[in-house]
């Protein structure tokens, strides 16, 4: 049985900030979907790309099992710095997307062994877990880029 990757777009920190503001200001899923779609228009070209990104962000904030984590984040948001917020966002993404979680786990293991990691090495390891397909490689590149954007102290 094949697993669904589901992670095929890079997620930027500012988009997670925007989603946090929507979620914590009480917008329901439908309102948030319309708002994020409009917001993404300034950054993303193509209706298909906007639709997929919107679906990914909605999954993280409205359709996942992150409710306890979201409540903790809501209570702490005014007290934490950007690094802590980004780590919380990474945790939300990891819990929503098993593929992204696997990529982050591989990166973490490789970082313990080396100062610098190569994208091709991460792709090789993720291909062993998810299959050696072009879709896995493309999604891994998007996941690695997302990870890099949120790790402000490393890149």
H/E stretch holding 6 reads: none
Token code pair at residue 104: 């982050």
CA distance 110 to 69: 27
Length of the chain: 155
CA distance 80 to 40: 26
- Where are the domains positioned within the chain? 13-150
pTM: 0.90
Residues 45-92 pLDDT 10s: 999 999 999 999 999 999 988 788 888 888 887 788 888 899 999 999
Radius of gyration of the chain from Cα atoms? 16
Residues 80-100 pLDDT 10s: 888 889 999 999 999 999 999
């Amino acid at each position: 049985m094949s697993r669904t990757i589901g992670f095929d777009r890079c997620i930027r920190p500012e988009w997670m900030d925007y989603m946090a503001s929507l979620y914590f200001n009480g917008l329901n899923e439908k309102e948030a979907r319309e708002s994020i779609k409009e917001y993404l228009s300034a950054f993303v070209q193509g209706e298909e790309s906007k639709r997929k990104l919107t679906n990914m962000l909605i999954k993280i904030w409205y359709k996942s099992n992150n409710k306890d984590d979201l409540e903790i984040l809501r209570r702490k948001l005014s007290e934490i710095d950007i690094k802590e917020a980004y780590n919380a966002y990474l945790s939300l993404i990891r819990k929503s997307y098993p593929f992204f979680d696997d990529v982050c786990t591989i990166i973490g293991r490789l970082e313990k062994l080396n100062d610098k990691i190569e994208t091709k090495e991460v792709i090789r390891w993720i291909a062993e877990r998810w299959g050696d397909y072009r879709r896995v490689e493309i999604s891994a590149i998007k996941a690695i880029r997302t990870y890099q954007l949120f790790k402000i102290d490393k890149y």
